[in-house]
């Protein structure tokens, strides 16, 4: 990370040590509570394509990236034993077909004992001879079973570690601010490409170039949907030719920094003033929801509030003939907003622990009628969540509503027909929760990039 701006580099240098110390402390507590004396974490393996010798792009396991910001080190391990410095066992095969991982450098390396090894046998030799009281997290292979750890992917231990991942340290927040700045650069470049008449594929290329990342280094494949493609929530096509008529762009695309993700969505319109006003109204709704989140808020209440506000928007936009309250009561708002209002964010885009009642067993249920909500916990200071309301014109859901008498009578069908060509609207920011409210990592990043500060 030699190209990192000096202030960020200094901040990472100063904050990683306390971050790792806290990680070691809570991991030691979890191991002790579960009856283990050590933890072995695997980075994952490069998976081969069926009937071929080439591999799919490697994605490091999240529990490994919790410890070290390495995304391209397959078959490596972190070994942690309470009271000792964590050990990074880095796989460096003697290979001339593929370049092995370099010895890491940077602000975090001095906090680890780094041991390069050429193969799995050498990795095993670098570990204690007896692993019978150690837990292992990673791919459950026959080779790992032969190493005889006490448990492979023990549920109680993993839930305990996952539960605590929701609260981010100052180091993690610094990484997520940096990821948002990269993402903001990409989104601004993508919007310029849209205005210039680019195809979905060309817009993605502009996004990637502005972020300075390879596609496999992104936290997820970008959703770049022109026109009616915006009605497909996880649109994946990337047409290489621009459409004959340009109406709208929905882009849901993130960047990654030191293993931490941002998740940003923006919707753009080409010329239509009516749809532009609808986007502005959704932005106002989204910012109102952001203003209402703080530590102590039950995220399920945010989901229900989002549907109340969506009902009002649908009424104001003349998309429904009933009241906003009736749109909620009849399920019409779920026709236009079928997904959850947001999720935890961190090492993973949809980060773990979103339903956990406590560190052990037990989950908090979703509200009735909202099966796709990914977060049900009460917010705590240090959580990072996404806020992503939207409305969509989804043919499958609208067909179902037309067959339901109560819903069909609520919807202004000619108005919906006029807007189908735009696909939908989604606006998404990343929020770091504080006791008094939230820090909008995404809006801050856009302001910094536009002002030339990032």
Reported as a single tens digit per residue, the pLDDT across 335-386 is 999 999 999 999 999 999 999 998 877 999 999 999 999 999 999 999 999 9
Residue with tokens 């609260």, as numbered in its chain: 167
Pairing of strands 384-387, 390-392: unpaired
Task: Please compute the mean of the pLDDT values over residues 73-84 and round it to a whole number.
Answer: 97
Burial of 376 (0-12, 13-18, 19+ CB in 10 A): buried
Band of residue 208 on the pLDDT scale cut at 50, 70, 90: very high
pLDDT (0 to 100) of residue 3: 63
The residues near 13 (Cβ < 8 Å, ≥ 6 apart) are 107
Task: Please compute the mean of the pLDDT values over residues 95-122 and round it to a whole number.
Answer: 94
- Indicate the average pLDDT of the chain: 96
- For 6, other C-beta atoms within 10 Å of its C-beta total 7
Pairing of strands 256-257, 223-226: unpaired
pLDDT (0 to 100) of residue 361: 79
Q: How many Å separate Cα 377 from the centre of its chain?
A: 17
Task: Please compute the mean of the pLDDT values over residues 156-175 and round it to a whole number.
Answer: 96
The residues near 451 (Cβ < 8 Å, ≥ 6 apart) are none
Cα separation, 127 vs 307, whole angstroms: 53
Q: Is the pLDDT of residue 107 over 90?
A: yes
The full set of domain ranges for the chain reads: 6-164, 170-450
Task: Please compute the mean of the pLDDT values over residues 109-133 and round it to a whole number.
Answer: 97
166-199 pLDDT, tens digit per residue, is 999 999 999 999 999 999 999 999 999 999 999 9
Cα separation, 358 vs 363, whole angstroms: 8
Band of residue 265 on the pLDDT scale cut at 50, 70, 90: very high
DSSP designation for 447: H
Query: Is 250 in contact with 233 (CB distance < 8 Å)?
Result: no
CATH number of 170-450: 3.90.230.10
Q: Is the pLDDT of residue 275 over 80?
A: yes
Cα separation, 200 vs 236, whole angstroms: 10
Residue 424, helix vs strand vs coil: strand
Same fold, 6-164 and 170-450: no
Distances from the Cα of 174 to the Cαs of 199, 290, 343, in angstroms?
Answer: 34, 20, 19
Identify the architecture of domain 6-164 in CATH.
3-Layer(aba) Sandwich (3.40)
302-343 pLDDT, tens digit per residue, is 999 999 999 999 999 999 999 999 999 999 999 999 999 999
The residues near 224 (Cβ < 8 Å, ≥ 6 apart) are 190, 200, 203, 204, 207, 235, 238, 249, 251, 253
Give helix then strand counts, H and E, for the chain.
15, 16
pLDDT (0 to 100) of residue 454: 73
Query: Is 264 in contact with 184 (CB distance < 8 Å)?
Result: yes
pLDDT (0 to 100) of residue 203: 98
The residues near 350 (Cβ < 8 Å, ≥ 6 apart) are 343, 344, 374
Cα separation, 227 vs 233, whole angstroms: 13
pLDDT (0 to 100) of residue 2: 45
pLDDT (0 to 100) of residue 70: 95
- Nearest alpha carbon to residue 353 among 326, 385, 331: 385
Cα separation, 220 vs 350, whole angstroms: 10
- Nearest alpha carbon to residue 79 among 123, 15, 26, 29: 123
214-243 pLDDT, tens digit per residue, is 999 999 999 999 999 999 999 999 999 999
395-444 pLDDT, tens digit per residue, is 999 999 999 999 999 999 999 999 999 999 999 999 999 989 999 999 99
Residue with tokens 């092995």, as numbered in its chain: 100
51-78 pLDDT, tens digit per residue, is 999 999 999 999 999 999 999 999 999 9
Three-class SS string for 109-163? Answer: HHHCEEEEECCHHHHHHCCCCCCCCEEEECCCCHHHHHCCCCEECCHHHHHHHHH
Q: pTM of the full predicted structure?
A: 0.96
């Amino acid at each position: 990370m030699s190209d990192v701006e000096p202030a960020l580099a200094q901040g990472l240098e100063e904050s990683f040590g306390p971050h790792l110390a806290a990680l070691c402390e809570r991991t030691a507590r979890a191991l002790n509570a579960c009856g283990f004396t050590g933890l072995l974490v695997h980075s994952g393996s490069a998976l081969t394509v069926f009937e071929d010798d080439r591999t799919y792009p490697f994605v490091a396991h999240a529990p490994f990236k919790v410890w070290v910001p390495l995304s391209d080190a397959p078959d490596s391990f972190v070994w942690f034993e309470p009271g000792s410095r964590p050990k990074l066992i880095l796989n460096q095969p003697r290979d001339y077909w593929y370049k092995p991982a370099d010895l890491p450098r940077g602000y975090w390396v001095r906090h680890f004992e780094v041991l390069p090894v050429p193969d799995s046998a050498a990795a095993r030799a670098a570990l204690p001879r007896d692993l019978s009281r150690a837990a292992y997290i990673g791919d459950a292979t026959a080779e790992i079973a032969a190493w005889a750890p006490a448990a492979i992917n023990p549920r109680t231990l993993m839930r305990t570690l996952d539960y605590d991942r929701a609260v981010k340290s100052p180091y993690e927040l610094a990484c997520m601010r940096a990821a948002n700045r990269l993402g903001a650069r990409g989104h601004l470049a993508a919007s310029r490409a849209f205005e210039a008449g680019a195809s979905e594929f060309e817009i993605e290329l502009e996004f990637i170039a502005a972020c300075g990342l390879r596609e496999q280094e992104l936290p997820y494949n970008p959703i770049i949907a022109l026109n009616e493609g915006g009605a497909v929530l996880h649109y994946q096509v990337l047409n290489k030719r621009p459409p004959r008529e340009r109406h709208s762009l929905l882009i849901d695309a993130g960047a990654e920094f030191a293993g931490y993700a941002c998740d940003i969505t923006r919707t753009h319109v080409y010329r239509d003033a009516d749809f532009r006003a609808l986007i502005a109204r959704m932005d106002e709704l989204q910012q109102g929801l952001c203003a209402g989140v703080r530590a102590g808020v039950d995220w399920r209440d945010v989901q229900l509030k989002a549907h109340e506000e969506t009902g009002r928007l649908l009424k104001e936009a003349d998309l429904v003939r009933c009241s906003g309250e009736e749109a909620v009561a009849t399920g019409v708002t779920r026709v236009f907003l079928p997904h959850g209002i947001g999720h935890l964010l961190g090492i993973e885009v949809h980060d773990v622990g979103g339903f956990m009642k406590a560190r052990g067993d037990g989950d908090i249920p979703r509200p009735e009628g909202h099966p796709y909500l990914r977060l049900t916990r009460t917010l705590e200071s240090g959580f990072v969540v996404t806020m992503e309301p939207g409305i969509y014109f989804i043919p499958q859901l609208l067909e179902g509503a037309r067959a339901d008498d109560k819903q069909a009578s609520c919807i202004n069908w000619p108005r919906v027909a006029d807007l189908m060509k735009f696909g939908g609207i989604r606006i998404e920011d990343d929020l770091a929760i504080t006791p008094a409210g939230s820090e909008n990592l995404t809006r801050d990043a856009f302001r910094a990039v536009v002002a030339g500060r990032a």
